[in-house]
Chain A
């Protein structure tokens, strides 16, 4: 009998593949979507903040203030927007969205600096674009600190005072030394891609059979429930792997990203993950009656998976309750796994805890889907 069972499953697979390959929109989705998304999204989703428009209000007009200004404008982060006479004038520019940050240098800046050894400057940032405001004022502050340092060591050198101990904190970015955002984004987007394609295809599939009515004809056959679900699972599992492979090729050809870790391990991760996300899709499929319902429900979860998966915002910086939600987000594990293996070169032992968790997701979701798929009601 096992021979007969195998034959049944093989036929279910054959049928599923015939249907998938005959569906033009699915074909396009499988081959075009990964390529387009991987080319467009990482280029657009660039966190590096450049071209911050800076407006300067210099009330001092001294040598020091001029030096400071030239030092700031020399950096590639800032674009000199205007040189204003008053803060109000500069503020109008902010209102018109022509300036992002205002630097105001007060009168007696130079004098105070030399005589009293300290001077104040005022930085005002437009916080509507939070990232730009934050990073921009941080860049600006660090340039000013730098300048301050320079100045002090110069003054100290002249007076031959006791040298002031200077603590410098150099930083270096591990696993992505140049802080190349593509390295960071591409593996994450790859994970999202697999999630979207796998989740949606599987969620819509059983529902489609319900909608068209073919499930009636299947249900009167002696076929077992788990055969049917396996017959749905495997084709999409294979498709998911194909999409992932295409994505890896795009990452290599366009961004030159070659996984540091083992390719085999990467496929172990993706295989396990696919079982989990497909199980989730099939589960939704068993709950819904129409493709529209399934689509909306899947979309709701997709948003949570993506936005709370650590792709755009780090899970570590989320509040505690959000971290707990992220623990139940399979996509969060995959995003981390792919980054670990592709960027850091993590080995099997490092990724094992995550793989086990994904395995639990897979078992629970698929069993639930099998139980919930009723042949009788």
Chain B
């Protein structure tokens, strides 16, 4: 059973016919954490706005919890929780007032659904009389999540919830998402961070309005296909330059403290001598663990 089904959706903006979403299709299983992974401008926010009935698609259609996003938008609005990428609660209201306000708009009360937000809200409770504008970034994020959850939605849309949040808060945030998943809520989350992709059940890799692949993270990694090695040298800058000149490698790019180099099947015998010949010293080479980022880079290249 699918919670969200997207069929061939397109969205074009303005007179310049800027294509933001280009014939995108995917479906999300009930109770999954589904990740839309891609750089800025890939079309993630447009898809979110279409699915939360804020934007009409120019082509194609979609259903959320079995309801059509155009015809049954009212049904969808009461079942969906949406946390926009930009913090959009009332900064001049206090934490409690914001929560209270959104609970009322959905025709419910804080008390009625308190157990759903309890884990998150306890961390906010000591600031409940503080104006939202004066909260730290992580706290704002938590409050926004509470407000999106207060009406007990069955599907939660989170648009780049961890952008601009510190690593500790990011980790905490994902812990919270896992707990929500355990309560049976379907979560669709977008992020530009590849390392968060592993935390999703299934991910869609997006680029320039198109979906490159929809799979489980493990499946994507297992299907990488190429041989990936990490290389390090004393002069990393020189190394990256030299790697670009080595034509037998499929691809090479900086990856943390290493350079990742991909080959079709095996490392050609002349690879190391080539590097040494170019005057590089302190060369270290080992097979690398394939990550989503490597898969993404490969997809972009092809």
Using CB atoms and an 8 Å cutoff, list the residues of chain A in contact with chain B.
4, 7-8, 11, 15, 18-19, 22-23, 212-223, 375-377
Contacts and interface: CB of A to CB of B under 8 A. Distances in A.
B107 interface: yes
| Among A7, A220, A223, residue most surrounded by chain B Cβ atoms (within 10 Å) | A220
Contacts of B107: 4, 7-8, 222
A222 B77 contact: yes
Interface of B: 52-56, 73-74, 77-78, 80, 82, 84, 86-93, 97, 100-102, 104-107, 147
Nearest to B70: A376
Contacts of B73: 376
A234 B77 CA distance: 25
A223 B105 contact: yes
A222 B97 contact: no
18 contacts: A8-B105, A18-B97, A23-B92, A214-B90, A216-B84, A217-B84, A217-B89, A220-B53, A220-B54, A220-B80, A221-B102, A221-B106, A222-B74, A222-B107, A376-B54, A377-B54, A377-B55, A377-B56
A219 B54 CA distance: 7
Given A220-B53, A376-B55, 12 more contacts: A8-B105, A18-B92, A19-B93, A22-B92, A214-B88, A216-B86, A220-B54, A221-B102, A221-B105, A222-B106, A375-B54, A376-B73
The binding surface of chain B is classed by DSSP as loop
Contacts of A217: 82, 84, 88-89, 102, 147
Contacts of A376: 53-56, 73
Contact of A213 (B88, B100, B101, B147): B88
B88 A212 contact: yes
A223 B78 CA distance: 9
B13 to A, nearest CB: 10
A220 B54 CA distance: 7
A18 B101 CA distance: 11
Contacts of A216: 54, 82, 84, 86, 88
A222 B86 contact: no
B78 A222 contact: yes
B164 to A, nearest CB: 14
A11 B90 contact: no
Given A15-B101, A376-B73, A213 B55 contact: no
B77 A220 contact: yes
Contacts of A215: 88
Contacts of B87: 213
A220 B91 CA distance: 18
Contacts of A212: 88, 91
| Among A15, A18, A213, A218, residue most surrounded by chain B Cβ atoms (within 10 Å) | A15
Contact of A15 (B53, B88, B97): B97
